[in-house]
Chains A and B, each alone.
Chain A
Amino acid sequence: MKRLVVAAALAILATVPVWVGGTYYVNIASQILIAAIFALGINVLVGYAGLVTLGHAGLFGIAAYAGARLMNNGHGHVAVAAGALAVTLLGAAVFAALALRGTGLGFVMITVALGQIVWGVAYRWISLTNGDNGISVSGRPSPLGLSLASAASFYWATFVIFLLAVASMAIFVASPFGASVLGTRDQPRRMNALGYHVWMIRFLAFLFSGFWSGVAGLLYLYYNQFVGPQVVALTASAEALLMVISGGAATLLGPIAGAALVVIMKNVASAYIERWNFVLGAIFVAIVVFMPEGLVPGTARRWRGAMAALRQRAAPPVAAR
C-alpha cells in the first residue's frame, strides 16, 4: 500500500510537464522543487538537529552568487557547480563555527546576523555582487549533452536532483549518524555523557544542511538566470523556515508540502488576490491553530482519527449490540 502510494506520487511528479499544461505551470513546479530542496536542507537543522536558523538564505545566496560570478568568468558548468558548492560549504562551516557558540535563541540571533552580513555584501559590495542590480548570467548547463533550456527539461533535471535530496534525507535520518543528530536535539547533555561529540555532530549537520541549501541556490540561479540581493534578505530565510514549520519539521514530506504551499500561494494565488500575503498569513495561523505539528503530521493524525471513528461506526462495540 505504502509502496503503491509512493510509486503513484513519483509517477505524477515525473510526468508534470506532460499533464500540467503550459510552460507557466511547469515553471512553477520547478520553483516548488527548488524551494523543497532548500526546505529539506533547512529541515536538517531545524527539524532533526533542533537548531532554528534564520540565516540560511545567506547560504542559498552564497551558492547563487558564487555560481553567477564563476559563470561570468567563463568557467564551465562542472567547475561552476563544484566551485559554488565548495564556497557554500566553506560559508556553512563559518556560519556553523560562529552560530554553534550559542544555543537556543542565541543560535537564532547569530544566524540572523550572519544572514544580514551576506545581505549587506550582496547589497553594498558592488564590485563583488553588483549591488542592487544583481548579476545576470546566460545559459543553463547541458548534463550528458541534454539541453535544459526548455521548461520541461529543466523541470526533469531539477526533479532528479530533488529525488537525490529526498533519498539523502531518508538515508541520513535512518542512519546511526542520523540517530546521533536526533539525540543531540533531544538530550544534548546525555549524548555528551554517552561519549558523543555534540558540537561536531551539530557542525556536520550544519554542513549537510548548507550543502542542500547551496544546491537549491545554484538551481535557483540556473532557473532565473539572475541573482539579486532580495534572495538573501531576512524575509527569504523566514519564508523558508515557515515552509519547514508549516509543512512539519523533522518529517521527510513536511518541508516539501510547505514549499509547495508557499510557492503556490506566491505565484498562483497572487494572480487572483492582491493581498496574497494576507492569505498566506491566515493559512499559517490556521495551521498553527489546528495542526501545530505541521501540515503533514497534522493531516496524518486527523486521518488516523477519522479512520478510527469510521471503523467504530462500521463495527459498533460488542456491548452495544
Chain B
Amino acid sequence: MTALAVRDLDKSFGGLCVTAGVSLSVEPGERRLIIGPNGAGKTTLFNLITGELRPDRGAIMLFGRDITRVPSHRRFHLGIARTYQIITLFQGETLLRNVMLSLLGLSRLRWNPFVRLARQGALIARARETLARVALDHLAERPLAQTSYGERRRVEIAMALAQNPRILLLDEPFAGLAIDERRDVLRLVTGIPRDVTIVMIEHDMDVALDFAERITVLHFGEVVVEGTRGEVVAHPRTKEIYLGA
C-alpha cells in the first residue's frame, strides 16, 4: 500500500496557479526529496497534504484512506507530522513544555481543565525520553528562547517524532543552520527508523542528495522530473532549472 498518494492536485491563489495537477506517490519507509526553485510550490504542496490549505481539485490518500475532506487537525491524528521552514515553536516555554504540548496534542488529556499539567508524571517522563532522542534532555528546563537555532530545529523534530508519525514532512530542515548543526540534524534524520516515511523539501542539494532515494522536482507548481537520485541528477530538465542552462 502506498503511504502517501496525491492525485491531480490543483491550487490557485487568485490567478496564480501554485499547484498544477501534481500527482505523487510515496511508498512506506521511503525517503523522498522534493526540490525546486523558489516559488515552485513545494511548501504549498505540504500545506495541501496537511490540510492547512484546501485544494481546488484533486485527492490526497494516506495509507489508502482518502483524507481530502478530513479537517486539518484530524490529519495529525492519522499519522502525519510536520516541521516548518521557519521554526514555529513556543518561544516563551521550556524545551520540556514544548515537547509536552506535542504529546498532549494526541492525548485526550488535552481537554481536561481540572488536573494539573505539572503533575502528569507519565507525560513528563515521555517528554524527557523524546528530548533524549534528539540529545537535548540536558536542556529540558531551559526556555526555548535561550537555545540556538540548531537546537530549536532538533526540538521541532523531537516534537514531530513525539507525535509518533507514520509519515513525516520536513520543510527545509537544514535552512539557516551552521555546518556542524546541519550535520547533527542530518544524523538525527538519518537515524529515524524505517517505519516512518519521510518527505523532505530541501534547497541544500549537498546534504539532501545523500539522504534521498527518490527525488521529485517541482517547477511552477508542476512535477517536472521524478525518479531515483541518479536519474534526476542526470536529467537535462533538472540541470536547466537549477543551472539556468
Contacts and interface: CB of A to CB of B under 8 A. Distances in A.
Contact of A177 (B52, B71, B72, B112): B112
Contacts of B106: 194-195
Contacts of A186: 90-92
Given A189-B88, A192-B73, A194-B76, A175 B112 contact: yes
A190 B90 contact: yes
Interface string A165-188: 000000110111111100100110
A42 interface: no
Contacts of A195: 73-74, 76-77, 105-106, 163
B52 A192 contact: yes
A186 B92 CA distance: 9
B102 interface: yes
A128 B54 CA distance: 45
B101 A179 contact: yes
B159 A177 contact: no
Interface string B209-221: 0000000000000
A176 B76 contact: no
A193 B52 CA distance: 9
A304 interface: no
Contacts of A171: 113-114, 116
A191 interface: yes
B76 A178 contact: no
Interface in B51-106: 52, 71-74, 76-77, 81-82, 84, 88-92, 97, 100-102, 104-106
Contact of A197 (B73, B100, B102, B117): B73
B245 interface: no
A25 interface: no
Contact of B113 (A172, A191, A193, A196): A172
A176 B91 contact: no
A35 to B, nearest CB: 24
Contacts, number: 88
A198 interface: yes
Given A180-B110, A187-B89, A193 B117 contact: no
Contacts of A183: 90, 101
A198 B116 contact: no
B72 A192 contact: yes
Nearest to A178: B113
Chain A interface size, as a band, is: 20 to 34
B243 interface: no
Contact of A193 (B76, B91, B110, B118): B76
Contacts of A177: 110-113
Given A192-B73, A195-B76, A195-B105, A179 B82 contact: no
A194 B101 contact: yes
B120 interface: yes
A237 B107 CA distance: 37
Contacts of A178: 113, 117
A175 to B, nearest CB: 5
Contact of B114 (A175, A187, A189, A208): A175
A218 B126 CA distance: 45
Contacts of B100: 179
A175 B113 contact: yes
B112 A176 contact: yes
A187 B115 CA distance: 23
Contacts of A176: 104, 107, 109-113, 115, 117, 120
Contacts of A187: 88-90
A171 B118 CA distance: 12
A179 B72 contact: no
Interface string B119-145: 010000000000000000000000000
Contacts of A197: 71, 73
A193 B90 contact: no
B19 interface: no
B104 A180 contact: yes
B80 to A, nearest CB: 9
A206 to B, nearest CB: 14
A176 B107 CA distance: 10
A262 B144 CA distance: 37
A175 B102 CA distance: 15
Nearest to B111: A177
A191 B74 CA distance: 12
Interface in B186-245: none
Interface in A141-185: 171-172, 174-180, 183
Contacts of B101: 179, 183, 191, 194
A191 B82 CA distance: 12
Closest 7 CB pairs of A and B: A194-B105, A195-B105, A195-B76, A177-B113, A190-B88, A175-B113, A176-B109
8 contacts: A174-B116, A174-B117, A176-B115, A180-B110, A187-B88, A190-B90, A192-B52, A195-B77
